[in-house]
Structure 1
Amino acid sequence: MNNLLRSPNGGGICRGSSDSQLNMSAVSDNSQVTFRNKRKLHSENDRIMDELSDLKKQMADMIALISSTSSAQTENIDKLCRDVTAIRNEVNSVSNTMASMTIEQDKLRTDIHHLVTSTQDTKKRVTLLESDVNELKLSATQNSNKMLVTCESYEKLINECQERNERRKNIILAGITESTAENNADRTQHDLQEVSKVIKLLNSDCPEPQQIFRLGRYQSNKSRLIKVCFSSEKITKQLLRKKTTVQLNNIKIYSDQTPYQREVLKNLQKELQQRTANGECNLRIKYEKGIPKIIKIDAKNFTATVTEF
């Protein structure tokens, strides 16, 4: 665009006339005059406006981005806070769980200690029970043995009583010479005659015995004892009472005793010999109610004092 120079119509320097216009080109240097291009100014303004608009847009985008970032950061911070809170809660929960586990462990440890103590007490009780059971077994065995012994003793006692009752009807004769006849019937007849002689001497009214027989095996150089069996105990008692009143020429009469009675009498005889050897005097064996006892005779009054051992 060409520069336009405006000047007064007079074309010269204003000299005071009122209708003249000042010629700026004449007054001032060109350097002091600014020439503007209107189209170019409008273009610059548009460009500036566009730049401002772009800048505003960029600033708006930046503000939006900052706002978005701030929101995202806020959300992230909130999420982080929530996560931290959750972690803190989890830590607290774990801490509580650990505390509960510690309490449970202490309780379990206490229970185990009680269980061990109870187990030891149970073992001691089991040991005591085993000892008691063994004692009971031993006691039961001993009692069983005692019962067996007692039963056997009772049985022996009953058998002894029965045997004594049977033997009370019998007497034993010793000193009757045994016949040397070969025939058994002849020997038996001889014994019967000799026995009859003896019992008639003691009691003329005595009935005949039911049975007689020799005891033990035959020996040619020895006369065996003769067992004489009667029907009642009364007959034998009469004969035994009178045996000391009649002279029988070395023939002796005894009551028929059981093996136990003979053993008791044998022991008493040994005891009598021992006591006599030790210096005791005036001792002898006497039967009291069918039981043999060692008695001491009073030499002054000729009475017997029974001494039981």
Structure 2
Amino acid sequence: MNILRSPTRSDLRDTLSDSQLNESKIVTFRNKRKLPEENEDITVIKKEVCELTNKMSQIMSMLTTICTNQKELMEKISSDVADLKEQITEMKSTIRHVNKENKIIKSDISNLLEKNKTNEQKILNPS
């Protein structure tokens, strides 16, 4: 029974010459993608990309302006809120002072009413 054997690597090396081995080791690289040809479709696409880039630049410019305006408005609002807090504090202080004066005035009126009653009784009863 004869078994057929496929040649092994060592067998191939023996059968191939050195120049054939060197040629088999050369690897060729090629670009698998086809390069597009300059045609109308590519020109249209380039134009659209250019327009999109311009629009994006305009949008970025507008967003930057909006951001700057918002920062300025926030600073103004913050300043206004600080002023309002200061005014509220002054108003509270003024209200406390007015309350104290009101109590004093009430006390003075009460004392005057007592003296008035006493004086009326003295006038009515001069004993």
User: Which residue is equivalent to 2:71?
Assistant: 102
**What's the TM-score once normalised by structure 2's chain length?**
0.64
User: Which residue is equivalent to 1:136?
Assistant: 105
Among 46, 53, 56, the residue aligned to 1:87: 56
User: Which residue is equivalent to 2:118?
Assistant: 149
Number of residue pairs matched?
92
Distance 2:84 2:124 in 1: 57
* C-alpha spacing 1:85/1:151, structure 2 compared with 1 (3 Å): farther
Distance 1:118 1:104 in 2: 21
Distance 1:79 1:129 in 2: 73
Distance 1:71 1:112 in 2: 61
Distance 1:106 1:90 in 2: 24
* C-alpha spacing 1:141/1:74, structure 2 compared with 1 (3 Å): farther
Q: What are the equivalent positions in structure 2 for 1:125-204 lying under 5 Å apart? A: 125-157=94-126, 160=127
- 1:216-238 Cα distance to aligned partner (Å, 9 max, x none): xxxxxxxxxxxxxxxxxxxxxxx
Distance 1:73 1:156 in 2: 121
Distance 2:101 2:66 in 1: 50
Distance 2:44 2:107 in 1: 89
User: Displacement of 1:66 after TM fit?
Assistant: 3.5
* C-alpha spacing 1:139/1:66, structure 2 compared with 1 (3 Å): same
User: Which residue is equivalent to 1:111?
Assistant: 80
* Bigger Cα Rg: 1
* C-alpha spacing 1:72/1:119, structure 2 compared with 1 (3 Å): same
**What's the TM-score once normalised by structure 1's chain length?**
0.28
User: Which residue is equivalent to 1:41?
Assistant: none
User: Displacement of 1:124 after TM fit?
Assistant: 0.7
Q: As a proportion of its length, which structure holds more strand?
A: 1
User: Displacement of 1:127 after TM fit?
Assistant: 0.7
Q: Which has the higher contact order (CA 8 A, sep 6+)?
A: 1
Where structure 1 has 5 or more consecutive residues not aligned to the other structure, the ranges are 1-64, 161-309
- Runs (4+) off by over 6 Å: none
Q: What are the equivalent positions in structure 2 for 1:28-107 lying under 5 Å apart? A: 66-67=37-38, 70-107=39-76
User: Which residue is equivalent to 1:305?
Assistant: none
Cα RMSD over matched residues? 1.8
- 1:95-149 Cα distance to aligned partner (Å, 9 max, x none): 1111111101110110011001001101111111111111121112112222222
* C-alpha spacing 1:102/1:149, structure 2 compared with 1 (3 Å): same
Q: As a proportion of its length, which structure holds more helix?
A: 2
- 1:153-178 Cα distance to aligned partner (Å, 9 max, x none): 22223xx3xxxxxxxxxxxxxxxxxx
User: Which residue is equivalent to 1:124?
Assistant: 93
Distance 1:82 1:154 in 2: 104
